[in-house]
Chain A
Amino acid sequence: MLEVNRISKRFTTSDGVIPAVDDISFAIAAGEFVSIIGPSGCGKSTLFNIIGGLVGDYEGQVKVSGDIIHGTHPAIGMVFQEESTFPWRTVLDNVAFPLEISGLATSERLERAQHFVSMVGLEGFERRYPAELSGGMRQRVALARTLASEPRILLMDEPFAALDEQTRLLLGDRVLQIQQQLRQTTLLITHNLTEAVQLSDRVLVMTYRPGKLKREIDIDLPHPRDSEVVSSDAFGRYVAEIWHDLREEASRGIRDDENRVLRARSDR
Chain B
Amino acid sequence: MTRARFANSAMAARAFGIGSVVVALGVVELLIRAGLINRFIVPLPSEIAAAVPRIIAEENVLHRFWQTTQEILWASLMLAGIGIALGALLYRFRVLRLACETWVAAMAAAPIVLMYPLFLVIFGRSATTIVMMGFAAGLAPVILKTVEGLSGTRKVLIDVARSFRLNRSQQFWKVLLPAALPSVFVGLKLGLIFAMINIVGVEFLINFGGLGQLINELAERYDLPGTYGAICFVVAVSIVFFDLTERIERWLRPIQ
Contacts and interface: CB of A to CB of B under 8 A. Distances in A.
B164 A84 contact: no
Residue among A49, A74, A82, A88 with most chain B CB within 10 A:
A88
Contact of A86 (B157, B162, B166, B252): B157
A131 B255 CA distance: 7
B165 interface: yes
A77 B159 CA distance: 12
Contact of A129 (B156, B252, B254): B254
B160 A80 contact: yes
A159 interface: no
Contacts of B156: 80-84
B165 A74 contact: yes
A242 to B, nearest CB: 28
Interface stretch (B104-112, B119-127, B171-179): B171-179
B163 interface: yes
A88 B164 contact: no
A98 B175 CA distance: 12
Contacts of B179: 86-88
Overall SS of chain B's interface: helix
Contacts of B253: 88
B181 interface: yes
Contacts of A86: 157, 160, 175, 178-179
Interface string B136-176: 00000000000000000010110110111110001000110
A54 interface: yes
B163, B179, B256 interface centre (most CB from chain A within 10 Å): B163
Interface size class on chain B is 20 to 34
B170 A54 contact: no
Contacts of A76: 163
Contacts of B170: 101
A172 to B, nearest CB: 22
A84 B162 contact: no
Nearest to B165: A72
A88 B159 contact: no
B164 A54 contact: no
A78 B163 contact: yes
A137 to B, nearest CB: 15
A87 B174 contact: no
A132 B254 CA distance: 12
Contacts of B159: 49, 54, 78, 80, 84
A98 B253 CA distance: 20
B163 A72 contact: yes
A54 B162 contact: yes
Given A74-B165, A101-B166, A101-B170, A84 B256 contact: no
A97 B256 CA distance: 18
Interface in B224-249: none
Contacts of B164: 97-98, 101, 149
Given A83-B156, A86-B157, A52 B255 contact: no
Interface in A61-83: 72, 74, 76-78, 80-83
Contact of A101 (B174, B254, B255): B174
A215 to B, nearest CB: 29
Nearest to A81: B156
A98 B161 CA distance: 9
A52 B163 contact: yes
Contact of A84 (B157, B178, B255): B157
Contacts of B166: 101
Interface string A38-60: 00000000000100111000000
Contact of B160 (A84, A87, A100): A84
Nearest to B160: A84
A131 B159 CA distance: 20
Contacts of A74: 165
Given A80-B160, A86-B178, A149-B164, 11 more contacts: A53-B163, A72-B165, A78-B159, A80-B159, A84-B159, A88-B179, A101-B166, A101-B170, A129-B254, A129-B255, A131-B255
21 contacts: A52-B163, A53-B162, A54-B159, A54-B162, A72-B163, A78-B159, A78-B160, A78-B163, A80-B156, A82-B154, A84-B160, A86-B175, A86-B178, A87-B179, A88-B181, A97-B164, A97-B174, A98-B164, A101-B165, A129-B255, A132-B255
